[in-house]
Amino acid sequence: MLVEVALFAHLTPYLPEAGAGGTTGSPHARTIDLPDGTTVGQVIARLELPDEPRIVFVGGRHAADDHVLAAGERLAIFPPVAGG
Amino acid sequence: MRTILRLNMSDLSITSDAVPEKWSRYGGRALTDAIVFTEVPPAADPVGPDNKLVFAPGLLGGTSAPNGGRLSVGAKSPLTGGIKESNSGGQAAHALAKLGIGALVIEGMPADKDAWYVLKLHADGSAEIIRDDSLGGLGNYATKDALDAGMGDVKRFATITIGPAGEMLMKQAAIAVSDPDGYPNRFAGRGGLGAVMGSKRVKAIVVVDEGLGYLEHADKDAFNAAVKKFANALKEHAVTGQALPTYGTNVLANIINESGGYPTRNFSNGRFELVDEISGEKMREITLERGGNVKHGCHTGCVIQCSRYYVDKDGHYKTKGSEYESVWSLGADCGIGDMDAVAELDRACGDIGIDTIETGVTIGVYMDSGKLAFGDADGALKLLDEVRKGTELGHIIGDGAEATGLAFGVAHIPVVKHQGLPAYDPRPIQGIGVTYATSTQGADHTAGYTITANVLSVGGTVDPLKPEGQAALSQGLQIATAMLDSLGFCIFVAFAVLDIPAAFEAIYEMAAAHTGEKWDTDALMQLGKEALTMERLYNESAGFTAADDRLPQFFYDVPLAPHDVMFTVTDEDLDSVHGFVAETAAGMGISKP
């Protein structure tokens, strides 16, 4: 199944080269082909993201590492960020 | 001993008295609140002779407390009609504190309505009021240049200035404070306090601290130990130690957009399709390419270093670069997805002396009227030129989002207590809606920054899409923020304080070691409650009721994409936020101002 994965701030360099731009042409997004039933945690392991707190969204809502992704969903992962 | 220095513009007299014993624990916001509460009649005309403009460093201003050099500016607000504390970075707070000044109060109004004055506070403790009409009409940058030229050999001083908007008493006029490099680019932006300064015919204040060191402490060793503990926590936390220094506050653009709470085109969508063009990551890339500065503090003693300079294509300084709120308001909220265009607008706001948040919201409202297309950056810049010139249209824009929306018949005017909403839509991020609705300051994200737990997983988590738990979250943060503002801390220390217990301990340890008084967790929270209590009672006397603690109706009945949600926190929950006020007021022995 095809899933859009987006990484931000200092996680951006962990994006794979293939699938550039995702569905929106964003430099932060990639379209990735994953086996059915893949979880958020499995994507994090596959991308070899650093072991640190993360803020994870699926479809713009907070999601846990055990969330099972569905075809066409967008997974976005941020390191700890804040501002205002 | 801290003093209250008073400059009376009616008779041009200067007096100085000790800060009263009853206010010995107050600095910053609590002290500006106490003076406004006690001395400014709630019915006063904000730009009349009875209003007072108060500048106060925090209780720890003038010390090496990390990120402890913020400035509180207080008065009755021309924009909201209520009490206002507008908070700025820059060098002025430390400079005032080193002069022993707990609060600088500008009161009265000169008889000569054509005069412009400069107030000079010298390092030897003397002060003078100098008439200089030549500064009239100048922008903040030209004013700063003129002040610099008159300083001779004196190199270390801070300036506080207004631009043309403040001179013309516009309701969203801001007050500029110089940064460590001397640029007049830090702002007490919100609430129109630049108009209060303009009404007193004060164009500039110069505070000289050359040759003055940090203040002495009651217990130097204990103070230094607490400073170290606090600085370590700020460096250790991923937000204050890594994300903010690397990307600046605009690192938020992508995550708030992802959450669906990034207000776009006058709060008509929660996502902006051009966010990649104005994100913190993009800003860093552009700035590095052009050789700009991507990391410095807005005041001496800042260890977070989220400030930066935006430079033009030739590598020349354009403006501070730029804050998340400013990029959002002048960018996404106006449908403008071009970083250089946003920086040009930010520079114009800074020079004219208007609040970037209110300005962007105002232009967004104006665009919504159909008078200007969303995304028209050139048209937006021309609007700001109207403000600078003081044309009829310029005065409407200069009076803010509500004035503009009413003048041009716009249905959706995003304001609370007459002040424009900042960069988080309260429908998908409900906690911030509670803060907007209930804050004594009008719609103000900093007053109780629930984005922490709602979106950023700092200080716990509270589901942003549900109404449950939002009132309690907002109340706790509003009290804590009033406390930090009173001690003089940058509120970004809260990101570390909420997650690292040692950081919180270090705050009361610094306060105790500096003042020699007993400070603990309860004393800190009491300080925050007392500041809010004075603000709340003042606003009640100024005419605010529970009906003013609500969001504009469209947030309750127009769903926002992409989550298609509305604001659902109950009125009962909103009214619970100030539940502590009656008891705190009784304990303080105060009722109405």
Query: B266 and B193 share a domain?
Result: no
Query: B201 and B299 share a domain?
Result: no
Query: B25 and B172 share a domain?
Result: yes
Query: B196 and B272 share a domain?
Result: no
d(CA B143, CA B160) in angstroms, rounded, equals 10
Contact B139, B352 (CB under 8 A): yes
Shortest Cα–Cα distance, A34 to chain B (Å): 22
Query: B199 and B268 share a domain?
Result: no
Query: B203 and B266 share a domain?
Result: no
**Domain assignment present for B125:** yes
For residue range B274-322, list pLDDT tens digits in order.
Answer: 999 999 999 999 999 998 888 999 999 999 999 999 999 999 999 998 9
pLDDT of residue A76: 98
Query: B188 and B313 share a domain?
Result: no
Q: Within an 8 Å CB–CB cutoff, is residue B273 touching chain A? A: yes
**Domain assignment present for B81:** yes
**Mapping DSSP to helix (H, G, I), strand (E, B) and coil, where does residue B445 land?**
helix
CA B518 to chain centroid, in Å, comes to 29
Q: From B272, which residue of chain A is nearest by alpha-carbon distance?
A: A24
Burial bucket for residue B376 (CB in 10 Å: 0-12, 13-18, 19+): middle
- Taking an 8 Å cut-off on Cβ atoms, the answer to whether B456 and A76 are in contact is no
With 90 as the cut, is the pLDDT of residue A23 above it? no
For residue range B388-427, list pLDDT tens digits in order.
Answer: 999 999 999 999 999 999 999 999 999 999 999 999 999 9
A83 band by pLDDT with thresholds 50, 70 and 90: confident
> Which of B396, B425, B454 finishes a domain?
B425
Q: Within an 8 Å CB–CB cutoff, is residue B493 touching chain A? A: no
Task: Name the residue facing B324 among A12, A28, A84 (closest C-beta).
Answer: A84
Please report residues of A whose CB lies closer than 8 A to that of B323: 83
B33 band by pLDDT with thresholds 50, 70 and 90: very high
Q: Is the confidence metric ipTM above 0.90 for this complex?
A: yes
Query: B180 and B111 share a domain?
Result: yes
**Domain assignment present for A31:** yes
> Which of B425, B440, B458 finishes a domain?
B425
Write down the H helix ranges in B40-152: 92-98, 140-149
**Domain assignment present for B16:** yes
Torsion, Cα of B221, B223, B229, B234 (10° steps)? -150
Write down the H helix ranges in chain A: 40-47
For residue range B55-103, list pLDDT tens digits in order.
Answer: 999 999 999 999 999 999 999 999 999 999 999 999 999 999 999 999 9
Mean model confidence pLDDT for chain B: 97
- Taking an 8 Å cut-off on Cβ atoms, the answer to whether B246 and A81 are in contact is no
Per-window interface: B 123-152 vs A, CB < 8 A: none
Output the domain CATH number for residue B92.
3.60.9.10
Query: B176 and B287 share a domain?
Result: no
- Taking an 8 Å cut-off on Cβ atoms, the answer to whether A81 and B247 are in contact is yes
| Domains contained in chain B, number | 2
Segments forming the whole domain that contains residue B410: 262-425
Average pLDDT score over residue span B527-555: 98
Q: Which two tokens stand for residue B413?
A: 């005017």
- Taking an 8 Å cut-off on Cβ atoms, the answer to whether A62 and B252 are in contact is no
Shortest Cα–Cα distance, B298 to chain A (Å): 14
**Domain assignment present for B86:** yes
pLDDT of residue A53: 87
Output the domain CATH number for residue B397.
1.10.569.10
**Domain assignment present for B382:** yes
B1 band by pLDDT with thresholds 50, 70 and 90: confident
Shortest Cα–Cα distance, B524 to chain A (Å): 23
**Domain assignment present for B504:** no
A19 band by pLDDT with thresholds 50, 70 and 90: confident
Short-list B282, B399, B291, B278, CA closest to B334: B278
Segments forming the whole domain that contains residue A55: 2-69
Per-window interface: A 16-75 vs B, CB < 8 A: 24, 26-28, 52-53, 55, 57, 60-62
The region that residue B125 occupies, defined by phi over 0 for left and psi between -120 and 50 for alpha, beta otherwise, is: left
Claim: this prediction has a pTM higher than 0.95: yes
Backbone angles phi, psi at B466, to 5 degrees: -115, 150
**Domain assignment present for B269:** yes
d(CA B130, CA B143) in angstroms, rounded, equals 15
pLDDT of residue B82: 98
Shortest Cα–Cα distance, B18 to chain A (Å): 36
Average pLDDT score over residue span B443-462: 96
List the beta strands (DSSP E) in B283-339: 309-311, 317-320
List own/partner pairs for B308-311 with CB under 8 A and 24 or more apart: B308/B248, B308/B283, B309/B183, B310/B283, B310/B286, B310/B339, B310/B343, B310/B346, B311/B287
**Domain assignment present for A75:** no
For residue range A27-38, list pLDDT tens digits in order.
Answer: 999 999 999 999
| Domains contained in chain A, number | 1
**Domain assignment present for B217:** no
Average pLDDT score over residue span B328-348: 98
Average pLDDT score over residue span B137-146: 98
Average pLDDT score over residue span B11-29: 98
> Which of B166, B190, B208 finishes a domain?
B208
